[in-house]
Amino acid sequence: MRSTYIKVITSFTGLGKLPTREANPIPRIDKVHENVDLVIIGGGPAGLAAALEAGRRGAKVVVLDDKKMLGGQLVKQTHRFFGDARHHAGVRGIRIAEKLTKEISKLGNIKPYLGASVFGIFDKHTVGAVQEDRLLKFEARKIIIATGAYERTLVFENNDLPGVYGAGGVQTLMNTYAIKPGSRALVVGSGNVGLILTYQLIQADVKVVAIVEALPKIGGYLVHAAKVRRLGIPILTSHTVLKALGHNRVQGAVVAQIDNSFKAITGTERRLECDLICIAVGLTPTYELASHTGAQMQFVPELGGFVPRRTKFLEISEGVYVAGDSSGIEEATTAILEGQIAGVDAATKLGHRLPGDEEQLAGWIKQLDDDRSGPFGEKIRRGLKSVVTEEGMMIGTTSIVH
């Protein structure tokens, strides 16, 4: 054993030398350093709506997004949205993204930086980001965090096999890059995302063998479920996936019925033939940047995870706002409304106003309440009760509340 150990170390240390400055000169890094009224982190529905409202009022706005196009989750959505005409009801998500992007391009005071990854917020109002070989630094009077959410994953045997995807990844392949992700799919999760993804897979000529749902009832809107069932796709409630089958890629899956404790019931296992497993079990808000700003973070299961406490205008600490899924997991129309509220409130507090702004804000806040008034909004209303504070009750230092 000793001689083998020495041989390995000798072999390793002989691989080469550390690079030198002469052999690998450090590339020149361009720097951008600007003072602006408002920095918006995230170019999805909330960020774009906030930028438009602040820009229309004359604020100097920067939008930072790590993708190569604006729109966030909207660019993956080929279905028509619900809601009302004021918030793009009946319009496909990709078209909403195109419309908002076009409106932003008409305003000379909104500057997007694409492919820009934000790595921190310092001294509350300094935003640092990197864009290829450029270092970006913005001194902002106000900041809106609209960074969206992460996809949740699911623990089961072989869940790291090629062919196991998050729902958003599958939508990106199909709807953004026109790549067929597989031939036979198993969808895990019957929320709206899982149901809509199922229909999109069928449109892409992918056979969906089943939808698996751990809860005893379907989680999404019945109108989506009815559309899927009319296509003959079984929805297996009180079921879960136990194992992905295959060696170098997915070649099948084992599913089973579960009891009230979410434990698999012995003898109910069955194999489904598939080469694609799509995980659509929910989202978790991205909260890291909010925690940089002195906001008080609170774990709220109804909202998807850790979210910052905020006023009704979405302000989480002095001059910093949150909007969209990073404030709690909801629909894109809600994200647009929250972006509008945050954008107008930030702009007006900077002195950029339009006549009737107070009435406009009150109307949007009422519309948010109305949109959350139905049975699907009950969980959201319950979660918001613990995080919405009176205006002005800002937290001075970051803390975590469980």
At residue 22, the pLDDT reads 65
The arrangement of secondary structure in 30-150+284-401, i.e. its CATH architecture, is 3-Layer(bba) Sandwich (3.50)
**The tokens 């002005």 sit on which residue?**
392
Mean pLDDT of 311-327: 97
- Is the pLDDT at 139 greater than 80? The verdict is yes
Q: Of 39-43, 210-214, 221-225, give the lowest mean pLDDT range.
A: 221-225
Domain spans of the chain, in order of start: 30-150+284-401, 153-281
Contact between 334 and 342 under an 8 Å Cβ cutoff? The reply is no
Residue 284: what are its φ and ψ, rounded to 5°?
-125, 125
Pairing verdict, β 276-279 and 184-188: parallel
- Is the pLDDT at 75 greater than 60? The verdict is yes
Q: Which residue has the higher pLDDT, 399 or 189?
A: 189
Q: Distances from the Cα of 275 to the Cαs of 162, 195, 244, 332, 376, in angstroms? A: 9, 19, 9, 30, 33
At residue 90, the pLDDT reads 62
**Percentage of the chain exceeding pLDDT 70:** 87
At residue 163, the pLDDT reads 97
Q: How far apart are CA 389 and CA 83, in angstroms?
A: 27
Does the predicted model carry a pTM greater than 0.75?
Answer: yes
| pLDDT band (50, 70, 90) for residue 80 | low
Mean pLDDT of 34-58: 97
At residue 87, the pLDDT reads 55
- Is the pLDDT at 401 greater than 60? The verdict is no
| pLDDT band (50, 70, 90) for residue 54 | very high
Q: Which residue has the higher pLDDT, 188 or 80?
A: 188
Contact between 224 and 195 under an 8 Å Cβ cutoff? The reply is yes
For residue 322, what are the β-bridge partners?
A: 145
At residue 176, the pLDDT reads 85
Q: What are 257-300's pLDDT values in tens digits? A: 999 999 999 999 999 999 999 999 999 999 999 999 989 999 99
At residue 25, the pLDDT reads 60
The mean pLDDT value of the chain amounts to: 88
* CATH class held by domain 153-281: alpha beta
- Is the pLDDT at 375 greater than 90? The verdict is no
Domains 30-150+284-401 and 153-281 share a fold: yes
**The tokens 């999760």 sit on which residue?**
189
Chain-centroid distance of CA 5 in Å reads 47
Q: What are 161-209's pLDDT values in tens digits? A: 999 999 999 999 998 889 999 999 999 999 999 999 999 999 999 999 9
Q: What are 324-348's pLDDT values in tens digits? A: 999 999 988 899 999 999 999 999 9
For residue 137, what are the β-bridge partners?
A: 33, 128
Residue 42: Cβ-neighbour burial (10 angstroms; 0-12, 13-18, 19+):
buried
